[in-house]
A and B are shown apart, each in its own frame.
Chain A
Amino acid sequence: MRSDRVGVLRLPYHYAPTTGGELMDLLIQIIFGLISALVIGAAMMVVTMRNVIHSALWLIASFFGVAALYLLMEAEFIAVVQVLVYVGAISILILFAIMLTRSNEGDRLFTTYWWTSGLIALGLFGAVLVPTLAGTIWNLPQPTGPAGAPEVLSGVEELGRGFVSEFVLHFEIAGVLLTVALIGAIVIAFEERSRRRRVLTLAEELELRKRQQASEHSAVAAADSVD
């Protein structure tokens, strides 16, 4: 039913004729530009937005852009995991934390010496990262096999095999880490008083009032009997 099991998202390549690939390349470049603009722009909004909720929503947009970038790089499993974990879990956690805390940030968005960190980030980008990236010669492997044939990519099956053979120790440590984080988060955020502050149901409130009245009556009666 399916001819190509390794990477199903490579449909354009799979069906592209070997000679007319320039149009497809241009299309891919345009898509890459749009996705990069989304990722970078959304990230800029995350750090500059005054409202934390807006920041969190832009963060989600940025996560989506990164997932699209993974799809473009034919890592569809990583893309889906990105959506599942970052968009479905971590951003929800962040939104919950924002709702549970009241932000009284005042008039200042950044710390006092924000321009120092801005300089550090800009310097790192302009003076260290970009020259290094541009100056390195990457030993890109030459494509083997006939031209136009789909490349052999490792996929979900290899990932699963790796987790139970080569990376089994890392895998188990990651599991232990998650368990510890789960327990730790509960221990840190647990509030002892929350049990006592249970909201009473209407029936319980009625019962409470009845008993109060009864105890008042009995107190009055006891006072009477003393007299």
Chain B
Amino acid sequence: MHDVINHLINTVFGLGWPGWAISLIAYLLIATILFMIVPFQMLFLTYFERRAIARMQDRVGPNRVGPEGIFQPVADGVKMFTKEDIVPDAADKWVHLIGPGIVVAPTMFMFAVLPWGPGMVPFDMNIGLLFFFAISSVSAVGLMASGWASNNKFALLGAMRAVAQMVSYEIPAVLSLLAIVLVTGSLSIVDLITFQSGLFISSSDVPGIPDFGLGWFVFTPVGFLAFIAFFIAALAEGERTPFDIPEADSEIVAGYMTEYSGMKFGLFYLAQYVLNFLLCAITAIIFFGGWQGPGVGWLYAQAITPANPAGNGLFNVLAGVLGVFYFLAKTYFFFFVMVWVRGAYARLRIDQLMDFGWKLLIPLTLVNVVSAAIWVGLTKWGAADGLAFVEGWAPLMRWAVAFVITLVMNLVAYFFLVRVYSQSQDERARLDDEVLERLTNVA
């Protein structure tokens, strides 16, 4: 964006403005565009989810407002705006007020490092991935604050559940990303995407692979296991259905949102859907190449970039449109998978949730980190790093050996851990039965 603004002002109009003015204009413009796009994304996502889940449950869903009910979210928004804003008498007024704000603000910050297309990233931070997850953990504070300030036991219970769940599922999410970061050797999200060019094999691992934009991480054993673990953790962080314990309406009313109404409730709703969108987007970016796809790389090579200032501006637009299309298609596919999971699975109990996270996902992702280290050693290192025996091998051969070894390692780890986990769950159920037995005998 900075390059395009610079090109427009200084080259096309020849005004010769200083660099900071161009930066300022570019960032303001990007922020405005994002703040206009994001709420509309959220409106569309709510409509999409309601229609999709209705189709799965053999219903019709909202279809009254506008053609096929497409304006239903707008009507909902109007309703929320005009509702009375109720603050309970016993609530802590200020904390009750700022709670939803603390929940929403981090989700907006996370867009700062999200790349939409080739060259279309608001801010390419060299620690972007870490920033994304650091900021996402802030919203837990807002949940806790709003749950406590409501002075309602259901709200407090919901907040405690939500925070416990978010904190424990952050660990497998970050560990599965750590494997990917090891492979790419960079924390920048843009570098992560450019790494994934190629055709089923990343052209960074094996030079000479034709670039069809399909060298995604999910095609490697390390990336596949990391993808599964990350997506499950993302479902838990976004409070999606198998893990929607914090707002289980049959147990604790609406969790931390119980005492909120009107637009404050709307803010929680907004934060939730925007967070879901972001989690789907980051899944698509990290494991499925983001905007990478057939044709984008070729188009972007002809465009105006810092490396190629003599390019054609038309190709910027073409590459951007195609890249954003691929990116949004992948993101919406993952959102559809989230809805699909909601239609298919029942809610877990809190102890099952914690057991699954701590006893299965975390060991699996730890093994995956070791696999990633082996992958890096076999595909990138040489005699200089102490791996002399790989020196004479062809790149494809090294890639194949790394593939087989990590595949075997991950499969063995998966089957072993799943067996141990299911045995421990059986044992636990047996113990629970014994406790029940003893209770009944005493009584």
Contacts and interface: CB of A to CB of B under 8 A. Distances in A.
Indicate whether A and B interact: yes
A76 B127 contact: yes
Given A15-B20, A155-B126, A208-B439, A53 B119 contact: no
B144 interface: yes
Given A16-B20, A80-B130, A83-B134, A1 B141 contact: no
B141 A95 contact: yes
A208 B98 CA distance: 46
Interface residues of A, number: 44
B440 interface: yes
Contacts of A2: 124, 126, 188, 190
Contacts of A204: 436
A175 B145 CA distance: 32
A77 interface: yes
Given A53-B95, A212-B440, A8 B125 contact: yes
B141 A91 contact: yes
Contact of B436 (A1, A53, A208): A208
A53 B19 contact: no
A88 B138 contact: yes
A95 B306 CA distance: 48
A81 B167 CA distance: 16
A211 B443 contact: yes
B305 interface: yes
Given A1-B190, A16-B20, A77 B127 contact: yes
Contacts of B23: 11-12, 15
Interface string B162-176: 010001001000000
A196 interface: yes
B131 interface: yes
B137 A88 contact: yes
B305 A99 contact: no
A16 B138 contact: no
Contacts of B435: 195-196, 198
A189 to B, nearest CB: 14
Contacts of A80: 127, 130-131, 134
A60 B141 contact: yes
Given A1-B306, A57-B95, A208-B436, A20 B18 contact: yes
B160 interface: yes
B148 A88 contact: no
B192 interface: no
Interface in B368-385: none
Interface of B: 18-20, 22-23, 92, 95, 119, 123-127, 130-131, 133-135, 137-138, 140-141, 144-145, 148, 156, 160, 163, 167, 170, 187-188, 190, 194, 305-307, 432, 435-436, 439-440, 443
Q: List 9 A-B pairs, minimum CB-CB distance, nearest first.
A: A15-B19, A88-B137, A84-B134, A211-B440, A83-B134, A80-B134, A95-B144, A212-B443, A80-B130
Given A84-B133, A156-B126, A156-B127, 9 more contacts: A2-B124, A53-B148, A57-B145, A76-B127, A83-B138, A84-B137, A88-B138, A200-B436, A208-B436
28 contacts: A8-B124, A12-B23, A15-B20, A15-B23, A16-B18, A16-B19, A17-B19, A24-B20, A53-B92, A53-B95, A60-B141, A76-B126, A83-B138, A84-B133, A87-B137, A89-B137, A91-B141, A92-B167, A95-B144, A99-B144, A99-B148, A99-B160, A204-B436, A207-B436, A208-B440, A211-B443, A212-B443, A215-B443
